[in-house]
Homo-oligomer: A and B are copies of this chain.
Amino acid sequence: MELEFIQWLRAHAPDDPRAKLGLSDDAALLSFGDKTNIVVTTDLLTDGVDFELGKHEPKRVGRQALAANLSDLAAMAARPHSALISLALPRGGGANRGALELAIALYEGIEPLAVEYDVVIAGGDTNTYDGPLVLSVTAIGQITERGPLTRTGGKAGDWLLVTGALGGSILGHMLDFAPRVHEAMLLHERYELHAGIDISDGLALDASRLAKASRCGALLYTDRVPVSSAAIRLSELDRADDIEASALRHALSDGQDFELLIAAGPQTAATILQERPLECAITQVGELVAEPGLWQHSMQGQRKPLEEIGWRHA
């Protein structure tokens, strides 16, 4: 549904130099007269879709809501500045807890993360109603003198690098992940990156998005994708026949990894891989190619299509 609505919006929303990239990238770049260095992004999370209040502690849910927005700022290599937190709280709160207690519990996850990433909570709107918990977070960041990192600057031949390990986020990473803010800023400052995106809907789908925005295709080296231990554990829990194949599928398609996918020229990318400037892992998972589409190598070393598997928003 969301994709169709965005298409409808693109056809209906007039272009405006005061806000760019909003419908096509991870955050919108705002322009105020002479200054153009503010980015803004927003995420709305609902009980039953993004988390389950019956299962997940409110503290972790609150943290997740802010972290997802910080990941969008990271995708633009922006420095987090402030955030607004709006809540629609179930009247009565639920789970032996009043609405006020729920709001405070959510905030107890939000605040430490805000402090850790130097984000000021600038405001919000708190409401009770007859419905499930909804959190809406807007995060504001500043881009550096390098400008924003966007999805559009990739070139055929660029290497695709990914931070961390992928898949199985549902086992806990989706709530407890560290948004790659510092990693994105460091890479963007120290190296000439061409394009970037955060992996929120699965490597295959987000690599495909980055490639499309850069008017290229993407070839993924499926044998080099860093598969997380959670992806393997999930495959074991699934009692998959082929654990390795199942874990790779999780790594390619699971949502909410919130790792960074970066495109850079081969020389720059090789330097990054050699220098390993991050505390987390960084791995080459593919390259951008001239031919549109998403590709993998066949056993014979030829290209064959790779399905754009991933988390499709309802």
Contact = CB atoms under 8 A, between A and B. Distances in A.
Number of copies: 2
A43 B127 CA distance: 10
A84 B40 CA distance: 9
A30 interface: yes
Contacts of A131: 46-48, 131-132, 134
Interface string A131-148: 110101010101000000
A32 B2 contact: no
A213 B37 CA distance: 33
Contacts of A14: 115
Interface string A38-61: 101111101111000000000000
A84 B138 contact: yes
A298 interface: no
A84 B33 CA distance: 19
Contact of A30 (B9, B82, B88): B82
Interface stretch (A15-23, A168-176, A178-186, A220-228): A15-23
A238 interface: no
Nearest to A114: B13
A311 interface: no
A1 interface: yes
A190 interface: no
A50 to B, nearest CB: 8
Given A40-B84, A46-B88, A5 B126 contact: yes
A86 interface: yes
Contacts of A9: 107, 121
Given A5-B103, A88-B134, A81 B42 contact: no
A35 interface: yes
Contacts of A49: 127-129
